[in-house]
Amino acid sequence: MTARIGVVTFPGSLDDRDTQRAIRLAGAEPVALWHKDKDLKQVDAVVLPGGFSYGDYLRAGAISRFSPVMETVIEQAKAGLPVLGICNGFQILTEAHLLPGGMLGNDHLHFICRDQKLRVENAGTAWTSDYEQGQEIHIPLKNMDGRYVADQYTLDKLEAEGRVAFRYLDFNPNGSLNDIAGITNEAGNVVGLMPHPEHAVEPLIGTGRTDGLPFFTSILKKLVNA
């Protein structure tokens, strides 16, 4: 048996089809979900993909967070449904308060696209268990609003509880506090990050690395073994 993993398409989602491909390459079954449809089609996990949903108008993720599909995602995530937010998906998760903090414009005020070095700080989540704790990986990063911010109390709490899932190494590409690239909720089922693991799943494509594949094999193993 395999797992069914939903990928939500919002108006302006860009990496939805790429994410479906990554899920397929990992051996799971991708299921397309539509933002206007509350029905999650009984998927076992959900990915909110990257892009510029609603043009990032108002604030990245601020409008999508009110989509009909998000009502169900929020409700089920709280009940333990694994949810991964990539880039714009991460922004939606913070807007939806499934993850704390928020994202501001990059400190250098430019869009940035690069092969980014990261350290896996928490290999215990639903989406990271196929990594080694402390493993250093390269994942493409591309965003305009990637600067993670939170109040000091939240930052301290995230650090103390080991909920910083990924940290930028060598170069902080956007001015994120504590070099934070991704975080998890307390339960470890909801993970958000700015870099794009779905763009690092095939040796020939993009940067030519496959460091992003474990995201999708992690969740597959967890779901199949559950």
Partner 1 sequence: MSRTPLDTVEHAAATPDVELPWAELGLKKDEYERVVEILGRRPTGAELAMYSVMWSEHCSYKSSKVHLRQFGEKAPESDAMLVGIGENAGVVDVGQGYAVTFKVESHNHPSYVEPYQGAATGVGGIVRDIIAMGARPVAVVDPLRFGAADHPDTKRVLPGVVAGIGGYGNCLGLPNIGGEVVFDSCYQGNPLVNAGAIGVMRHEDIHLAKASGAGNKVILYGARTGGDGIGGASILASETFDDAKPSKRPAVQVGDPFQEKLLIECTLEAFKEKLVVGIQDLGAAGLSCATSELASNGSGGMRVTLDDVPLRDSTLSPEEILMSESQERMCAVVEPEKVDRFLEICAKWDVIATVIGEVTDGDRLEIYWHGGKIVDVDPRTVAHEGPVYERPYARPSWQDELQADDANKLPRPETSEELKDQVLKLVGSPNQASKKWITSQYDHFVQGNTVLAQPEDSGMIRIDEETGLGVAIATDGNGRYAKLDPYAGAQLALAEAYRNVATTGAKPLAVSDCLNFGSPEDPAVMWQFAEAVRGLADACQQLGTPVTGGNVSLYNQTGEAAIHPTPVVAVLGVIDDVARRTPVAFQEEGQLLYLLGDTREEFGGSAWSQVVHDHLGGLPPKVDLERERLLAEILISASRDGMIDSAHDLSDGGLIQAVVESALLGGKGARLIVPDGLDAFTFLFSESAGRAVVAVPRSEEVRFNDMCGARGLPATRIGVVDGDRVELQGEFALTLEELRKAHEETIPALLA
The residues of the shown chain that bind partner 1, judged by CB under 8 A, are 11-12, 14-15, 17-18, 21-22, 50-52, 54-57, 110-114, 140, 142, 144, 196, 198-199, 201-202, 204-207
Taking alpha carbons only, the member of 23, 76, 72, 65 closest to residue 47 is: 23
Q: Is 196 a catalytic residue?
A: yes
Pick the catalytic residue from 35, 87, 121, 199.
Answer: 87
Contacts of 15 (CB under 8 A, 6+ apart): 49, 50, 51, 86, 87, 196, 198, 199
User: In this structure, are residues 194 and 87 in contact, taking their beta carbons and an 8 Å threshold?
Assistant: yes
Nearest approach, Cβ of 15 to partner 1 (angstroms)? 6
Distance CA 91, CA 194 (A): 8
Q: Is 87 a catalytic residue?
A: yes
Of 4 and 21, which CB lies nearer to partner 1 in the complex structure?
Answer: 21
Of 10 and 131, which CB lies nearer to partner 1 in the complex structure?
Answer: 10
Q: Is 113 a catalytic residue?
A: no
Nearest approach, Cβ of 217 to partner 1 (angstroms)? 17
Q: What is the dihedral of CA 110, 113, 118, 121, to 10 degrees?
A: 60
Place of tokens 């779901």: 223
Of 50 and 182, which CB lies nearer to partner 1 in the complex structure?
Answer: 50
Tokens of 136: 């250093």
Of 65 and 199, which CB lies nearer to partner 1 in the complex structure?
Answer: 199
The residues assigned a catalytic role are 87, 196, 198
